[in-house]
Amino acid sequence: RPWAKILSLSISFFVCLYAEAPVQISIIPSRSVKLHPLCLRRCFRFGRAIFWLFPIAVAASTTTVHSPSSSLVVSAFVPSPRSSFHRLQQQRQTSPTVLKKMSDPAPQVSKKIDGKSIAADIRAEIKARVTTITEKGDPIPGLAVVLVGERRDSQTYVNMKKKACAEAGIISKGFDFDATVSQTELLECVQKLNDDDSIHGILIQLPLPKHIDQDKVIAAVDPAKDVDGLHPYNVANLALYTGEATQAPFSIPCTPLGCLVLLDRSGVELKGTSCVVIGRSQLVGLPMARLLIGRDATVTICHSKTKEIESVCRQADVVVAAVGRAEMVKADWIKPGAVVIDVGINSVDIEPTKPGGKTYKLVGDVDFKGAHEVASKITPVPGGVGPMTIAMLLNNTLQACELKTKRLQEKS
């Protein structure tokens, strides 16, 4: 009906006028009329009548007003003479939005996955569970942390873990050795901790000095107390387990489990998605892939020998970067709208901003500055996966305590 076209076109002219956008009016079958906002403003100044006459003149054959050069699409909803209401409803469902950006869209800014906040929630939940255990008179969870050598990063991690345990009500005990400790002495310590009923979790802070067989020490830990999930028994359990990972009756490596929980609590649906894990370590890459498969995702593992790794990553709905190379994953590796989990933590040199200032900064395996404009969700570094690793360590320790108490109660 002509009145509908006139009304919608008039509104369109007003919108384009104030948006400073050139206007092109397409006239069926092939002709078009182009107007500039300046022209429209002059028409408006000459008189409102002139301004309204132009839409009336083209209303009979015009369906859409658009500005291809920079900004807007304005669709005129023209009801059918036979069924005005039905046609209007149909076009509202199928036509473009009344105002829609066409070219030069604003870059998508991803939503940061706040690992600190999510980890804080989990630690509060763990603290509540520990309080309940204490009130019932059940054994309080105990964690033993074995540290060999004087590496500053290892000492920092151990102190953070002890502090987190204290805040959650978990008892933590430290066993520190010089870097020259013998393997025999270290294995004797592990055996004593295995036999200690007050200890429910044993953490061997890695890496160990080169003269110690790391695999042998890990294998010496009681699988039920292996809160790092690295004992061969627990590795096999994960490979064979088909249930819900967060409810597994054994410990899963803390970092990949933390990544999975981050995805869950960020509302990321993994079923049917394509996931790429960059890195194939026993600590992160391989268990991460297994956890994603357990959520019905299709998983590809990339590593240093993967050909055209950029194109492989561009096919992924979820990218987990755990390769240990600073800002290796660039923005053009990421599919628009993908979710990015950055496990890496790397130190890079920077110029100090003031005398005596920091000469380094921490970055991940992903170029955050570029990737956050492409991804829909991304973890920052620091403040992403790191806090979740500690939260999952507390969770594994508490779970080991609960499982042991349950076994003892079943026997009695």
Q: What residues are annotated to the active site?
A: 161, 205, 228
Instruction: Say what the alpha-carbon torsion angle 293, 244, 404, 213 is, to the nearest 10 degrees.
Output: 10
Q: What whole-number distance in Å separates Cα of residue 287 and Cα of residue 237?
A: 11
What is the Cα gyration radius of the chain?
31
Task: Give the number of other CB atoms < 10 A from CB of residue 148.
Answer: 23
Q: What whole-number distance in Å separates Cα of residue 324 and Cα of residue 278?
A: 10
Phi, psi of 362 (to 5 degrees): -95, 130
Instruction: Fill in the amino acid letter for 19.
Output: A
Q: What whole-number distance in Å separates Cα of residue 160 and Cα of residue 146?
A: 14
Residues 6+ apart with CB under 8 A from 395: 122, 126, 257
Per-residue buried b or exposed e for 229-242, using 16+ beta carbons within 10 Å of the residue's own CB:
bbbeebbebbeebe
Residues in the chain, how many? 412
